[in-house]
Structure 1
Amino acid sequence: MKVLITDNCHEDLLIGLSSHGNEVDYLPHLSLNEIDAIIEAYDGIIINTRVKMDKARIDLGHCLSFIGRMGSGLDIIDLPYAALKGIKVISSPEGNAQAVAEHSLAMLLTLLNKLPLGASQVKNFEWDREGARGRELSGKTIGIIGYGHTGPALAQVLSGFRVNIKVYDKYKEISDSVNCAATIVQSTFEDIIAHCDVISFNIPLTDETALLIDESLLRRIKPGAILINASRGGIIKLDDVWNAIEDGRLGGCCLDVFPNEKPQTYKEEEADVINKLAKHPAVILTPHVAGWTIESKQKIAQILVDKIVSNI
């Protein structure tokens, strides 16, 4: 096959596909227009977040037999249309689940222990120990909404903190703890929203989950709870989250993903809410890097090679 890789990847992806007799063009610096101009020549395309495989781009790929996704989010691919055209979609959510889980925990511990404040104090030669007093994670009840790949990984990294873990997944029975050292309790969505001290959303962006975290949900949440979202920015309404932070309903939030991740396109109101969140001491923000570690980059490459070779 002739395969186009449109984004930065680990060399194992190129080496692995080439070793199975495929012709691989690694062209991560192409613009979207340049990709559109040549896509018709390829049997497969491997993308990351910047290249959206919508109906128009799929139609340009006359010879495509598969679309490979580095990572997990499939909202950038028109799945029904790809299926209609007989194009297989191959993703690699197993490759970055551990990275997202560890990053989520890192954001949470950073927030609870006021690490940015403490670091700032030392830089300014200030020792306000009372002001930098943090909170322990131990003993708290953690809710995990979505238990596909990242959810179990998060439960595992939390298991050493002596926390209570409640899990909800609309499409999956949680009959085992996936080798987790902690006790996992299957719960309902509303129970987690109303009673958990920390709630992590690990769900895809679909018509069903778009803007799920809105004013209505935030009014039902346990007062003082902390939200974590390292899944998809489109599931959260930032203005409503800011209002809940500002009036004290939310105890904090840790966000790695945002509805719009192209700052150069921000409208004034979008930039304003990001600025307000970024300046608040109970908010930790990172630029969609949770799943993009040194290790996950290689894991994703290896998983894609295995799946493509096995399925195409």
Structure 2
Amino acid sequence: MAKILISDKLSPAAVAIFERRGLEVDFKPGLAPAELRAIIGNYDGLAVRSATKVTREVLDAAPKLRVVGRAGIGVDNVDVTSATARGVVVMNTPYGNAITTAEHAIAMMFALARQLPDASTSTKAGKWEKNRFMGVELFGKTLGLIGCGNIGSIVADRAVGLKMKVVAFDPFLSEKRAVELGVEKVELEELFSRADFLTLHTPLTEQTKNILSRENIAKLRRGVRIINCARGGLVDEAALYDALKSGHVAGAALDVFETEPATDSPLFALENVICTPHLGAATAEAQENVALQVADQMADFLLSGAVSNAINMPSVTAEEAPRLKPYMELARLLGGMAGQLTAAGGDAIRAIRVEYEGHAAELNHKPLTAAALAGVLTPLMGAVNMVNAPVVARERGIDVAETTHERSGEYQTLLRVTVRTDRQERALEGTLIANDKPRLVAIKGISVEADFAPHMLYVTNHDKPGFIGRFGMVLADAGVNIATFHLGRAAAGGDAICLVSLDAPLPDAVLAEVRALPLVVQAQKLAF
């Protein structure tokens, strides 16, 4: 009998589900890290919320562990890389908190507009400071949304109901979807200049970190009020403090912080700041929903091998898994490379096409296409998995197509992932060698046969004499060791591609040197 440990506070309904399905479960919330490491070796599954830190040390002490279930969206408290290396599936519940988090953002906006926390404190202290708390109406004001996905779209719907004007910045939001929501799609600069209230609903990625930087906060309309119930790190807190002190920002309502638990912050001393301790998902309904979801998902996996809402593994049935696994890995790698290259260019994705030839054309394509979509979208949006990738693409108006070709080609099996943006179309092709080893065979129609590696450098350049020597010298002078080196070109003197596998991550300073070389069109480091 598989054993489950629940190490955080979780609804009793989760325990009941595990027991009803024949799994042994121990409910031990509040374990210290050392206590968790001491007992985790006895369990096949670990159910957590946000308090438990599933570190590499915890995973190293858990030889039996097969699945970690996070009751909630974020998996910041789980070392996903280490879990993947140990073959431990990490699951989350991406939709159980959406309404609750959206409602918290709306509540924070009301509280900010009418100074409710301070007014309550003042009144309870025996004061009657009616003239001190002069608020503002939401009616007719412009709400700026940064991120209009699952949670952001719910906030937009509520704000439209309050008769607010809503403008949204989201590279994945289509014009059609914007019309359906009743919002105006704008670029970030325009949102900054128009928003009376600004609320963030985007994951924390390299592209969104400090999206409200000191520079961008200075671009905001004077008197704006900011709400963040998404992720700490989206806002430069020091810059926000200065803007609040100067009056450029009239107020802020924060549920998340750069460092949590946030027990000491200069922001706490400001009267025009409302703070809550990461309560976005803190309702009875949300806690029940995520508890039920994570228990069912973990039980399904441990009893039948089915995988749902996995961060680090494709979702497939137990029967399909052995045959589809290498194909899904190939699709994920091709999509991940396309996504990283697209994210580096900052372009919005308009369409993704996945094509299958040879043996691949005979397979169940849904999990393969989902794996490719997750690969493409993750570098742009944070953790996207096979289950929610098609929904995310649809919500953002990305046209997704899959095509099978009965024709026989150079390879017995072939996958092609094509990503189209407003500026270009990029296709990557791959195959399997020895039945289960993914290999890249072409980029943008140029033959480049290469194995995928954890750390790679992709360079496009003009094919001229001397480039490879200068390129190699930059890496050599920086002490960067090349594991493999692959070249391809469309024609002599035309566009060329260089794909290098490295023994370690490439330092940013070295990447800058490569980009500065004559003849280089694009240089981007890749991680898999």
- Cα distance in 1, alignment partners of residues 178 and 98 from structure 2: 16
The alpha-carbon distance between structure 1 residues 257 and 174, as it changes in their structure 2 partners (threshold 3 A), is farther
Task: Look up the match of 2:373.
Answer: none
Task: Look up the match of 1:301.
Answer: 291
The alpha-carbon distance between structure 1 residues 124 and 34, as it changes in their structure 2 partners (threshold 3 A), is closer
The alpha-carbon distance between structure 1 residues 2 and 137, as it changes in their structure 2 partners (threshold 3 A), is same
The AA in structure 1 aligned to 2:42 is A
Compare 62-71 and 27-36 and name the one that shifted more: 62-71
Q: Would you say the 8 A contact 2:36–2:58 is kept in 1? A: no
The alpha-carbon distance between structure 1 residues 303 and 235, as it changes in their structure 2 partners (threshold 3 A), is same
- Cα distance in 2, alignment partners of residues 113 and 175 from structure 1: 34
What SS does structure 2 have at the residue aligned with 1:231?
A: coil
Correspondences of 1:201-216 after superposition (within 5 Å): 201-216=200-215
The AA in structure 2 aligned to 1:147 is C
1:23 aligns with 2:27: no
What SS does structure 2 have at the residue aligned with 1:108?
A: helix
Shift of residue 52, structure 1, vs aligned partner:
2.3
Compare 50-59 and 161-170 and name the one that shifted more: 50-59
Task: Look up the match of 2:115.
Answer: 114
**Alignment partner of 2:273 out of 267, 283, 293:** 283
Q: Would you say the 8 A contact 2:73–2:92 is kept in 1? A: yes
Q: Would you say the 8 A contact 1:47–1:69 is kept in 2? A: yes
What SS does structure 2 have at the residue aligned with 1:56?
A: helix
Shift of residue 163, structure 1, vs aligned partner:
0.9
The alpha-carbon distance between structure 1 residues 3 and 297, as it changes in their structure 2 partners (threshold 3 A), is same
Please give the TM-score of this superposition, normalised by the length of structure 2: 0.53
The unaligned stretches of length 5 or more in structure 2 are: 301-305, 308-528
The unaligned stretches of length 5 or more in structure 1 are: none
- Cα distance in 1, alignment partners of residues 70 and 40 from structure 2: 16
Compare 202-211 and 224-233 and name the one that shifted more: 202-211
Correspondences of 1:192-271 after superposition (within 5 Å): 192-262=191-261, 271=264
Compare 10-19 and 60-69 and name the one that shifted more: 60-69
Q: Would you say the 8 A contact 2:213–2:235 is kept in 1? A: yes
The AA in structure 1 aligned to 2:210 is L
Shift of residue 125, structure 1, vs aligned partner:
4.4
Q: Would you say the 8 A contact 1:6–1:27 is kept in 2? A: yes
The AA in structure 1 aligned to 2:184 is V
Shift of residue 124, structure 1, vs aligned partner:
4.4
What SS does structure 1 have at the residue aligned with 2:290?
A: helix
Task: Look up the match of 2:56.
Answer: 55
- Cα distance in 1, alignment partners of residues 86 and 290 from structure 2: 26
Q: Would you say the 8 A contact 1:43–1:64 is kept in 2? A: yes
CA RMSD in angstroms comes to 2.4
Q: Would you say the 8 A contact 1:152–1:177 is kept in 2? A: no
How many residues are treated as equivalent by the alignment?
A: 301
Q: Which has the larger radius of gyration?
A: 2
The AA in structure 2 aligned to 1:245 is L
Shift of residue 171, structure 1, vs aligned partner:
4.7
Correspondences of 1:46-85 after superposition (within 5 Å): 46-85=47-86
- Cα distance in 1, alignment partners of residues 30 and 226 from structure 2: 36
Identity of aligned residues (%): 29
The alpha-carbon distance between structure 1 residues 124 and 78, as it changes in their structure 2 partners (threshold 3 A), is closer
Q: Would you say the 8 A contact 1:75–1:205 is kept in 2? A: no
- Cα distance in 2, alignment partners of residues 126 and 84 from structure 1: 60
**CA offsets per residue over residues 216-269 of structure 1, 9 Å max, x none?**
221122222111111222333321110010111112110011222336xx6xxx
The alpha-carbon distance between structure 1 residues 124 and 22, as it changes in their structure 2 partners (threshold 3 A), is closer
Q: Would you say the 8 A contact 2:46–2:68 is kept in 1? A: yes
Shift of residue 162, structure 1, vs aligned partner:
0.5
The alpha-carbon distance between structure 1 residues 53 and 121, as it changes in their structure 2 partners (threshold 3 A), is closer
Q: Would you say the 8 A contact 1:118–1:132 is kept in 2? A: yes
